[in-house]
Structure 1
Amino acid sequence: MRNDLEGSATTGTAPPAPGRGTTDRTRSRGALVGRIARGALLVAVLVLVLFLLLGQLLAVLPVSWWSPFLHVLPIEIPLLVVGIARDVLGSWSLLPAALALAAGVFSLRRRGRRRLPLALSAISATALLLALATTTVQVVSVHGATGQWFLFSPATPASAVGRGPDKTVTYATLGGERMKADLYLPEAASATAVPLVVSIHGGGFISGSRGPTVYTSWLADHGYAVLDVDYRLATATQHTWNTADADVGCALTWATAHAAEYGWDMDRVATFGGSAGGNLAVNVAYKANAGTLEPSCGAAGQLPQVKAAIAAYPVVDLSTSVGESAYGAESGDWYVGGDPARYPERYKAVDSANQISKDAPPTLILQGSRDHLVFADHTKAFADKLTTAGITHRYVELPFLDHAYDSVSAGIGTKATRALTLPWLQEYIGG
Structure 2
Amino acid sequence: MFGQLAILVTAALLGPALAAGRRPLLPVLVGELAAGALVGRTGLRILDPAATPLPAFYAIGFAMLMLSVGTHVDLSSAQLRHSLSRGGLALSVALVAGLLVGQGISLTLGIDHTLLFGILLAGSSAAVVFPSIQERTLVGPAIAFLTAWVVLADGLTVLLMPLTLVGPSHLLLALAGDALIVTAGAAILWLAQRAVRHEAVAGAMREGFRQSRKRGWALQLRLSILILLVLAAIAEGTGASLLVAGFVAGIVLAQLRQPERLVVQLSGVANGFFVPAFFVLLGATLDLRQLITDPAAIAVGVMLALGSVAVHLLAAALAARDRRFTIGLLASAQLGLPAAAAALGISSHALSPALAAALVFGGCLTLIPASAASALLARGQASTRDAEQASMR
Query: Which has the bigger relative contact order, CA under 8 A and spacing at least 6?
Result: 2
Q: How would you bin the TM-score normalised by the shorter chain?
A: under 0.3
Larger fraction in strand: 1
TM-score by length of 1: 0.25
